[in-house]
């Protein structure tokens, strides 16, 4: 009996990501959710600009390439084109979602746009060679913060889940990570719930996944997963930041 295999919604092609990059794990979790919910035929994914720009080559569902940061706006178009017939997800890095795309992100959340947003937060710009991201930590050395991120010069990181939770719009916001098996299982549940919410018409769901970038952090893949525990989780605590349906239930 097969206990574990590649999900159908993930195409049988090699991934271009660096060895140990958590993109691969998260792609698989998204594909597993699509498989288990039986929605591959109506799902349209929006790929970002960043390392995962080529996500359109990896998922079996229809895929659209969006301009840097504009995925939530493109997703809005796709969803409005056929609200019942299209299940749409965006898959975005920290530059895409929290830098150039910050306005699109906030407004899609505020509109409670009925879409699923998968936010890959690895505190760095991978594709372009390791520049600072809006989520880079104070003191973090990157190509554009060569002396360590100095809050006096370029401020503090943006905590997306916390920030969006202040809005009345969004349905569901959760921060997860994939740096060990237990966390991977929690992340999978969150991602599946984010899709289920869309199917149920409940509105905007965003799952922030703390991820690693071994290459640009300058570490081995295993050390990078530990760095998430030691440095990222204290700054970006895991957990559910908004669950409107659960709040409504409790209020009853």
Partner 1 sequence: MAKLTFKTDNCKGCGLCVEACPKHILRLAEEKINKKGHHPAELTDEAACVGCATCALMCPDCIIKVER
Partner 2 sequence: MADKVLMKGNEAIAEAAIRAGCRHYFGYPITPQTEVAAYMAKVMPKIGGTFLQAESEIAAINMVYGVASCGLRVMTSSSSPGISLKGEGLSYLAGADLPALVVNVQRGGPGLGGIQPSQSDYFQATRGGGHGDYHMIVLAPSSVQEMAELTVKGFELADKYRMTSMILADGTMGQMMEPVSLDFDVAPMPEKPWATTGTKMAREHNIINSLYLKPDELEKGNFDRYEKYKIVEENEARYDEYLTDDADIIVAAFGIAARVSRNAVNEARSLGIKAGLIRPITLWPFPKAPFMKAAETAKAMISVELSMGQMIEDVRLATECRVPVTLCNRAGGMIPSPAQVLEAIKIAANGGEN
Residues that bind partner 2 (CB under 8 A): 49, 53, 65, 67-69, 95, 99-100, 102, 125, 128-129, 131-132, 134, 143-147, 153-154
Which has the closest alpha carbon to 16: 45, 57, 61, 44?
57
Alpha helices in 87-158 (DSSP H): 94-95, 102-110, 151-154
Instruction: Tell me if 23 contacts partner 1 by CB under 8 A.
Output: yes
d(CA 37, CA 199): 9
From the list partner 2, partner 1, none, partner contacted by residue 2 (C-beta under 5 to 8 A by kind): partner 1
State the angle between helix axes of 23-37 and 181-199 in degrees (0 to 180), rounded to the nearest 10: 40
Instruction: Tell me if 121 contacts partner 1 by CB under 8 A.
Output: no
Angle, alpha carbons 250-110-40 (nearest 5°): 85
Compute the chain's Rg from CA coordinates.
17
Selected from 181, 247, 249, 250, the binder of partner 1 by CB under 8 A is 181
C-beta of 6 vs 80, nearer to partner 1 = 6
DSSP-assigned beta bridge partners for residue 176: 209
In the region spanning residues 3 to 22, those forming contacts with partner 1, defined by CB under 8 A, are 3-6, 10, 14-15, 17-22
Contacts with partner 1, 191-230, as mask; x by CB under 8 A? -----------------------x-----xxx--x-----
Give SS3 for 124: coil
User: Which residues contribute to the site for partner 1 (CB under 8 A)?
Assistant: 1-6, 10, 14-15, 17-25, 28, 180-181, 184-185, 214, 220-222, 225
């Amino acid at each position: 009996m097969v206990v574990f295999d590649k999900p159908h919604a993930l195409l049988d092609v090699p991934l271009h990501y660096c060895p140990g990059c958590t993109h691969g794990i998260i792609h698989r979790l998204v594909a597993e959710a699509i498989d288990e919910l039986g929605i591959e035929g109506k799902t349209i994914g929006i790929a970002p600009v960043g390392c995962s720009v080529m996500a359109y080559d990896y998922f079996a569902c229809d895929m659209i390439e969006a301009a840097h940061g504009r995925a939530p706006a493109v997703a809005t178009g796709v969803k409005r084109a056929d609200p019942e017939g299209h299940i749409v997800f965006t898959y975005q890095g920290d530059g895409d979602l929290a830098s150039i795309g910050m306005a699109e992100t906030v407004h899609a959340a505020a509109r409670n746009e009925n879409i699923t947003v998968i936010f890959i937060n690895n505190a760095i710009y991978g594709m372009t060679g390791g520049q600072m991201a809006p989520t880079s930590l104070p003191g973090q050395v990157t190509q554009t913060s060569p002396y360590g991120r100095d809050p006096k010069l370029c401020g503090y990181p943006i905590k997306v889940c916390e920030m969006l939770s202040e809005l009345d719009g969004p349905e569901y916001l959760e921060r997860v990570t994939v740096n060990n098996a237990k966390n991977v299982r929690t992340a999978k549940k969150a991602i599946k719930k984010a899709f289920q919410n869309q199917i149920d018409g409940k509105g905007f769901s965003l799952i922030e996944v703390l991820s690693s970038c071994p290459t640009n952090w300058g570490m081995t893949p295993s050390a990078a997963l530990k760095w998430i525990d030691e440095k990222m989780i204290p700054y970006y605590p895991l957990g559910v930041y908004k669950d409107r349906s659960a709040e409504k239930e409790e209020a009853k």
